[in-house]
Chain A
């Protein structure tokens, strides 16, 4: 019964989503805006400040890690090395997509039910709290994930068109796949679970958004740290981090269930 119930929640959420132009546009447009922003940033940084960056001592550690991780990169020019450094972080940048979407759509997931008074009849069905939380999280995470993969796929021909095709061989490897198909789903589910927790604890829409932003903030920190190259993720590190995130997802789901107080939600919400 559990998969059927979770599927039921996901389908309902998607039906609601397609009827809401704002959220639909958000999910459709924000990923491409983030993709465009990332591409433009790489072009500007590499073309305008590439040589300066390569010479900057602050980034020396990052370049050393790049060459250690991708030995072939030692033969590249300074600007190409800068481009490669930025492109290897590209998938981490794309992690912004599920987190950004979660701040908006997951924040509304439970608050919306409270406002429309549909939560009490829903809780009067045999649905379990964890099924509800996971269903809500997956309903947002799946489209966000698909959009992230779509953006990653679109990025590759763009890189080739920009004349950096020679760098693709260095980019597409174990780390690229692990990042997209293990770490990104883990982060997407985590973002949405945290969003649903925030939504279940919030008093209204605004409160929900603020709360979710606050809860999701550590994920932004992870992305920022990685983009600056402070930590260099080898495939093993990415694999470990991906598995750790999946375990954290399970832990957060348990926390979400504990924090979802049916009684106080029903009694306090008028």
Chain B
């Protein structure tokens, strides 16, 4: 059952189109990675979904609530991690979090604040002014703020941007944990490894939606499947034998490594290995070629350029 749905969602600022005709849906409990170059409309989309700005075309529904409708109800069920953490720097973390928690009905603010300060590892630092916090600590506090009212849906706008590797890893760990709890997460990020690690599906946007699928499906859609054979030593007889195989569509030789495109990788692979061995080749490893998500992303973004926003 979709918990986030957009129908031709669009946003233009005067003559500049930031988001055009975005139609997608996110299932309950899913983590959707939202990728795109700078100015592609990621933050604008998140702001529209969080009811912060109104679309100029189309509409979006989050958990049955139109995002351009009842904002108060919408904000009770969503959590938003903004691009900049933004706290009252001369107030303590505890006071900051209590303040934000104080706007939500039906929650025990003190209990929730303690729960999430402990969860993000800041309980011991609760009496410290946020102005004295490191960037990583602020980001963890911002995550606690987004969760303090137990929202079903989380919008995270570049949660690890600008963090050192250790802090970024901690934040990713938290996101993984929230996903395991069954929360729906809409994750905007530039970090492709992070997206692959955390997300069930990836949406690539460049003003328009370029692709939306699971990372593996995107790879298969964009790149032909190839088998990489690692040999003990280069041998012309082996290469010739492989070329003669009817199911080999393309062969690329790179020293001791053969990259072979097969008609049907699953069925043809044993025949390929047999032919190599019969030709006197010694096989060290046979693997399917893995394209990093970065290749998928770059191919999508460069092949279907959208309007800059």
Contacts and interface: CB of A to CB of B under 8 A. Distances in A.
Contacts of B85: 117
A127 B149 CA distance: 13
A16 B82 contact: no
Nearest to A131: B103
Interface stretch (B88-96, B230-238, B290-298): B88-96
Given A15-B91, A125-B75, 17 more contacts: A5-B102, A5-B103, A8-B103, A120-B52, A120-B86, A121-B86, A121-B145, A124-B52, A125-B103, A126-B72, A126-B73, A126-B75, A126-B104, A126-B105, A263-B53, A263-B54, A266-B52
B84 interface: yes
B88 A116 contact: yes
Nearest to A119: B86
A262 to B, nearest CB: 7
Interface residues of B, number: 32
Interface of A: 1, 4-5, 8, 12, 15-16, 19-20, 116-128, 262-263, 266-267
B80 interface: yes
Contacts of A12: 88, 91, 95, 99
A8 B102 contact: yes
Given A122-B100, A124-B82, A1 B105 contact: yes
B13 A267 contact: yes
Interface of B: 13, 47, 50, 52-54, 71-73, 75-76, 78, 80, 82, 84-91, 95, 99-100, 102-105, 142, 145-146
A81 B88 CA distance: 53
B113 to A, nearest CB: 13
A124 B86 CA distance: 12
Contact of A15 (B80, B95, B142): B95
Contacts of A119: 86
B91 A19 contact: yes
Contacts of B86: 116-121
Most buried by B among A4, A12, A122: A12
Contact of A124 (B73, B75, B84, B87): B75
B82 A121 contact: yes
Contacts of A263: 52-54
Contacts of B72: 126, 128
